[in-house]
Each structure stands twice: as structure tokens, then as C-alpha cells.
Chains A and B, each alone.
Chain A
Amino acid sequence: DADVTQTPRNRITKTGKRIMLECSQTKGHDRMYWYRQDPGLGLRLIYYSFDVKDINKGEISDGYSVSRQAQAKFSLSLESAIPNQTALYFCATSEPYRLGSGAHPVDTQYFGPGTRLTVL
């Protein structure tokens, strides 16, 4: 089974609708992230959470909200969807580790399969 799962995988909705995308992980990581991907723009960070009580805005949080229901679950909501929120959305998890004493932590991210969202 996949370590990071996202539901739904595809969603078509209309302008103004409220949408929730869900992410679950079995990796036991504290850190979770939501990104959106648009052609030619790479990945842009929407929100991130370093533990259940910690939620932070990323570079493009306007129009989005999140909820960290448990260590394993991090959901993304679009309160009132608009067409320019049409994109591929990815959830990711990470757990920084050190390669040696005194070394700066490495933060390797593990991604879910993505949700393709279309807002008409």
C-alpha cells in the first residue's frame, strides 16, 4: 500500500463550490505539506504543518485553508473554488534526519499521487 494517499484523485467542480482534498500517510512523519503544480511553474507551497498543533502558510495560501486532524491526516479546503485554482495538487510528508553529528538536517519529501482538480 502507498505510504501517502490522496483522495479524490480527480475532481471536477463548479465555481463557488467548497472542495476538500484529503491526505493520509502511514510513514509516521510529523511534517506534512500541500503543494499545487501548474505547467511551467513547478511546485508552489500552499500550507505546511510541522506537527499537529503547527500550521503555517506557504507562498500561495489565499483562497485555501487546511486542517491537521491527526499526525497522519492533513486536509486542504478550497472555500469557494474559482477557475484559476484548476491545478494538480500534491500532499507530501517529511521527517528531517541528520547524516552525522553536527550535520545540517536533510528534509527528503515523500509525495502522494496527486489530485487533479478542475474548476469550471
Chain B
Amino acid sequence: SQQGEEDPQALSIQEGENATMNCSYKTSINNLQWYRQNSGRGLVHLILIRSNEREKHSGRLRVTLDTSKKSSSLLITASRAADTASYFCATDRHDKVIFGPGTSLSVIP
């Protein structure tokens, strides 16, 4: 079974709105990463949060981590049409990185 699972599976918002995606995982982790994938392309690393951190920021991205609930969220503020992509959380497990099924985000101009 997958270590991380994103929610919702798909999200559609208007340009300028904020987008929030959630990731839940099952076992303890050391790090959690978020990746982005444009349609048909390879994944690109966005941001990392360590298990002893609660919040990280990078530009319009804000990631939170709640290890007690085994969950993380990715917030994209002031979304743009160019943010349309799939977003994946990835957790480390037994020397490997495990990816969730992803959230497909559509930002409507």
C-alpha cells in the first residue's frame, strides 16, 4: 500500500485563489517532499520539510507538517494558470522514496 496519499485527487480553482492539497501517510518519516509534474513531463522537486519542522515557505508555497496526525499540506497562494499541474508528496521509507498518487490541480484563467 502507498505510504503517502494526496487529497483531493483533483482540484479546480480560479486564478488568484489559493490551492490547498493534503497528504496523509502511514508510518513515521524523517522527511517529506513535494514534487510537481506538468502534463506528461518528469517530476520536479518543490520543497522539503523535515520531521522536526512544522512549516516551510518557498515563494508562494507553504508546506505544513503534523507528525502527530501523519499529514502534510501544500498551500499555493495567489494561484496562476501556470500552476496547473499534478502535485505529489513523497516520503522516505526504508532507504527509498515513496510517492503518493498525486493531486491534479487546474487553475482557470
Report how far A37 CA is from B35 CA in the complex, Å: 14
- Determine the residue in chain B with the shortest Cβ distance to A38: B101
Number of interface residues of A (CB under 8 A): 25
User: Which 10 A/B pairs are nearest by Cβ-Cβ distance?
Assistant: A111-B42, A42-B101, A104-B30, A43-B99, A111-B43, A108-B45, A42-B99, A113-B42, A106-B31, A107-B97
* A110 contacts partner chain B, Cβ-Cβ < 8 Å: yes
* B92 contacts partner chain A, Cβ-Cβ < 8 Å: yes
B2 to chain A minimum Cβ distance, whole angstroms, is: 7
Known: A104-B31, A107-B95, A114-B40. 20 other contacts (CB 8 A): A4-B42, A40-B9, A41-B101, A42-B88, A42-B100, A43-B99, A90-B43, A92-B43, A104-B50, A104-B51, A107-B31, A107-B97, A108-B33, A108-B45, A109-B35, A109-B43, A109-B97, A111-B43, A112-B42, A114-B42
Q: Tell me which residues from 95 to 120 in chain A have a Cβ below 8 Å from any Cβ of chain B.
A: 99, 103-104, 106-114, 116
Can you list, as one digit per residue, whether each of A74-89 has a CB less than 8 Å from chain B (1) or not (0)?
A: 0000000000000010
Can you list, as one digit per residue, whether each of B40-66 has a CB less than 8 Å from chain A (1) or not (0)?
A: 111111001011000000000000000
A88-B40, A90-B42, A114-B40 known; A108-B100 Cβ under 8 A: no
* A34 contacts partner chain B, Cβ-Cβ < 8 Å: no
Q: Tell me which residues from 34 to 69 in chain A have a Cβ below 8 Å from any Cβ of chain B.
A: 35, 40-43, 45, 48
- Determine the residue in chain B with the shortest Cβ distance to A108: B45
Interface residues of B (CB under 8 A from A): 2, 9, 30-31, 33, 35, 40-45, 48, 50-51, 88, 90, 92, 95-97, 99-102
* A94 contacts partner chain B, Cβ-Cβ < 8 Å: yes
A to B CB contacts below 8 Å, 13 in the list: A42-B88, A42-B100, A42-B101, A43-B99, A45-B96, A48-B96, A90-B42, A99-B50, A106-B50, A107-B95, A109-B97, A111-B42, A114-B41
Report how far A44 CA is from B99 CA in the complex, Å: 8
Main secondary structure of the interface of B (DSSP, over half): strand
Report how far A90 CA is from B50 CA in the complex, Å: 26
